[in-house]
Amino acid sequence: MTKAASVLHWFRLDLRLHDNLALRNAINEAENRKHILRPTYVLDPDIKNKVGRNRLKFLIQSLRDLDANLRKINSRLFIIKGRAVDCLPQLFEKWQVKFITLQVDIDPELVKQDEVIEKICEEKDIFMVKRVQHTVYDFNTTLRNNNGNVPLTYQKFLSLVASTQVKDTIEITKQVSEDCKGSEFDSKDDDISLLDDLGFTEEDLNECKYPGGETEGLKRLNTYMTKKQWVCNFEKPNTSPNSIEPSTTVLSPYISHGCLSSKLFYHKLKEVESGMKHSSPPVSLLGQLMWREFYYTAGAGTENFDKMVGNPLCTQIPWKKNEEYLKAWAEGRTGYPFVDAIMRQLKQEGWIHHLARHMVACFLTRGDLWVSWEEGAKVFEDYLLDYDWSLNAGNWMWLSASAFFYKYYRVYSPIAFGKKTDKEGLYIRKYVPELKKYPSEFIYEPWKAPKSTQMAAGCIIGQDYPKRIVDHDKVHKDNIQKMNAAYKLKKENKTLKRKR
C-alpha cells in the first residue's frame, strides 16, 4: 500500500499559531491536496549543553503550549530528536513529504543548515516555501532599498522603512480537516513527552517568573496594551534598571522565541498610539521594537556580525583574555554590588533590564575589565531568555563601542548609575543578600565600610563578599586611552587604504 503524501511545517522561531503564514500555507496545501499535515519541531539532542537552564525551561513550556494550541485546531506537534540535516531527510522518506514550509532566519548556523536542506529538497522534488515572519520588515528588502548596504545608524534605518506598509497579521482558528490526520496522530511516538528527559520536574516548570508559550505571550501583550497612558508615556531612559519588579513589558522573550509576533506587537502599539499624544522612537515602545529591526537588518547584511575579526563594521580592539575576570563577572563576584546584583538576577531569572545590560556590558569591556565583547555575548547567549543572535551581537558591539556607538569616553559608573534609581540599594539587597544589612551609605561601595560596620552587618569584605576586582576610578581612565589608541589606528588604516 502506498503511503499518503504529507506536508511538513518546520517550526523553529515561530512557536505560535497567530501570524504564522508559513503554517497557514502548510495547512492550505495539505487540505487542497488531501495530504497529511505534520507540524514538526526538531530538537537537538545536545541542547542541554548548548542552552542555559532558564532558556531551556522556557522552550519546553513554549513547545507544550504550541502542542496544546495545535490540538485546539485538530492538529498536533511532532517532536523529532536529532540534527536537522540528518533527521529531516529521513522524515522526507518516511512521511513522503511533498511540501515543506518554514520561516527565514539570519543566524549563520541556520542559514548554512537551510542551504543543505534546500538542496536535498531540490533533489527529492519537494517544494519549499520560506516566509519572513520573525520581524516586522523584510530585512532583505530593506537592504535592497539601501543599495545593498547596511544602514549604520538607527535614524537611517527608520528612513528606509518609513514608507513601508506593514501587512496585517493573520489568525489560524479554523479546524484542520480530518483528512489531514495521519494514522500515527494519537501515537505517543514523537509526542511532547520527549521533552520529559531534559531534566525538569513539573515543579521546576511551574516555578518561574516568565513562563514560556504563545498563550502567556498574548496574555502579557494584552495586559500592557490596556494600559494606554502608560504605553503612550513610555520612555526607555526613564525606566529603572534596578526596580524589584520589571519597569518594562518583558515581552522580549516571547518575541525572540516566536511565541509572540513582532508584527502583532507593532500593530497593537499603533492602535494604542492612534489619536493620542505619545512618545516617539528611539525611546518609545515602538522605538524599542525598531531597534530589534535595525539589528536584524545589520546582522543580515554583515559578514561575521557576531565576531570582531572579519567583521567590516567592528573596530579591532586589542582586548585581553582574562578567564578570572570573565568568570567573576559571569558569576556576580566582581566586588561591585550593582554589577553583581545584575549578573545574579540574570542567572536566576533569565532576564535583566536593558539599561542593566548596558551597565554590565560596559563594565566587562571598555569600562573596567577590558575583556572582549565576544566573551560577554557567549554568557548572555547562555543565560538570557530573550537571546537573539542579531540583537545580542549588535548590542554588545554598541556597548563596547566597537560599532554603531563611538563615544567610548562615556563610561557607566558601577556605583553612581545604580544610585540614580535605587539610593537605598533594595535591588542589591535582594540579589546580593550577603550585603542586605549594610547601611545605605555603603551598599554600593562596601569596601569603604569600617570593619566594625562590616562585622555588625555579618559580611566581611574579602571574606564573605569579594574585594572589588579593579579600581574603577583608575582603570576606566586607562581604558579610555586604550580605546583612543584603537580608534586612532583604525583611522590611520583607513587613510592608508584610501591612498592605495
Tell me if 208 is assigned to some domain. Answer: no
Number of Cβ within a 10 Å radius of residue 463: 9
Query: Domain limits at 296?
Result: 135-166+214-301
CATH at residue 100:
3.40.50.620
Window from 2-6, 118-122, 243-247, 397-401 with minimum mean pLDDT: 2-6
Helix 373-383 × helix 53-72 angle, to 10°: 50
For the segment 355-365, the average pLDDT, to the nearest whole number, is 98
Same domain, 81 and 2: yes
Going by pLDDT thresholds of 50, 70 and 90, the confidence category of residue 201 is: confident
The helix (run of H) or strand (run of E) holding residue 99 is strand 97-103
Q: Is residue 199 part of a domain?
A: no
Question: What average pLDDT score do residues 104-117 get?
Answer: 93
Confidence of residue 3 (pLDDT cuts 50, 70, 90): confident
H helix or E strand, kind and range, residue 292:
helix 285-300
CATH for 296: 1.25.40.80
The last residue of one of the domains, among 89, 106, 132, is: 132
CB 124 within 8 A of CB 92: yes
Q: Phi and psi dihedrals of 137, rounded to 5?
A: -110, 155
**The pLDDT of residue 1:** 37
Q: Which residues contact 233 (CB under 8 A, 6 or more apart)?
A: 278, 279
Give the cell for residue 211.
513562563
Report residue 421 CA to chain centroid gap.
Answer: 25
Q: Are 349 and 400 in contact (CB under 8 A)?
A: no
Assess if residue 204 is contained within a domain: no
Check whether residue 31 and residue 110 sit in a common domain: yes
Residues 250 and 352: their CA atoms lie apart, in Å, by: 9
What is the model's pLDDT at position 434?
Answer: 98
Instruction: Give the count of beta carbons closer than 10 Å to the beta carbon of residue 420.
Output: 12
CA–CA distance, 280 with 320 (Å, rounded to integer): 39
Among 213, 245, 210, 248, CA closest to 385: 210
In a domain, 148, yes or no: yes
Q: Is residue 362 part of a domain?
A: yes
Question: Rounded to whole angstroms, how far apart are CA atoms 375 and 85?
Answer: 28
Q: Do 261 and 398 belong to one domain?
A: no
Answer yes or no: is 191 within a domain: no
The pLDDT tens digits of the residues spanning 184-200 come to 899 988 899 888 888 88
Q: How many domains does the chain have?
A: 3
pLDDT at site 478: 98
pLDDT tens-digit readout, 149-171: 999 999 999 999 999 999 999 99
Task: Flag whether pLDDT at 497 surpasses 80.
Answer: no
Residue 471 has pLDDT above 50, yes or no: yes
Q: Cβ neighbours of residue 403 under 8 Å, at least 6 residues apart?
A: 311, 313, 314, 315, 394, 397
Q: Angle at CA 303, nearest 5°, toward 300 and 307?
A: 110
Torsion angle defined by CA atoms of residues 170, 173, 174 and 175, in that order, rounded to the nearest 10 degrees: 140
Q: Can you tell me the mean pLDDT for 198-223?
A: 91
Q: Are 471 and 410 members of one domain?
A: yes
Q: How far is CA 376 from CA 40, 241, 283, 403, in A?
A: 33, 19, 25, 16
CA distance linking residue 310 with residue 3, whole number of Å: 49
**Once rounded to an integer, what is the mean pLDDT over residues 271-295?**
97
Asked whether residue 254 falls in the same domain as residue 153, the answer is: yes
Domain CATH for 368: 1.10.579.10
Are residues 10 and 85 both part of a single domain?
A: yes
Please state, in angstroms and rounded to a whole number, the distance separating the CA atoms of residues 67 and 78: 8
**2 has pLDDT over 60:** no
pLDDT digits (tens, 9 = 90+) for 313-328: 999 999 999 999 999 9
- pLDDT the model gives residue 500: 66
Band of pLDDT at residue 33, cut at 50, 70 and 90:
very high
CA-CA-CA-CA dihedral for 120, 123, 126, 128, to nearest 10: 60
Distance separating alpha carbons of residues 23 and 246, to the nearest angstrom: 33
Q: Is residue 286 domain-shared with residue 358, that is, in the same domain?
A: no
Task: Tell whether 139 is covered by a domain.
Answer: yes
| Count of CB atoms situated within 10 Å of the CB of 20 | 27
Q: Which stretches within 95-183 are classed as H helix?
A: 108-123, 139-145, 154-161
Residues 297 and 153 in one domain: yes
Judged by DSSP in three states, 6 sits in strand
- The beta strand positions in 226-283, using DSSP E, are none
Give me the pLDDT at residue 275, please: 94
**301, 331, 355: which is the final residue of a domain?**
301
Q: How far is CA 362 from CA 209, 331, 359, in A?
A: 27, 16, 5
Q: CA nearest 219: which of 229, 211, 230?
A: 211
Instruction: Please report the pLDDT score of residue 162 as a whole number.
Output: 96
Residues 296, 444 share a domain: no
| Residue from 398, 336, 329, 392 nearest 364 by CA | 329
> Is the residue at 195 inside a domain?
no
Is a pLDDT exceeding 60 seen at residue 90? yes
Mean pLDDT score of the chain: 95
pLDDT, tens only, 36-49: 999 999 999 899 88
Residues above pLDDT 70, as percent of the chain: 99
Same domain for 160 and 21 = no
Q: For helices 84-94 and 108-123, what crossing angle results, to 10°? A: 30
* Residue where a domain stops, chosen among 301, 336, 364: 301
In a shared domain, residues 286 and 157: yes
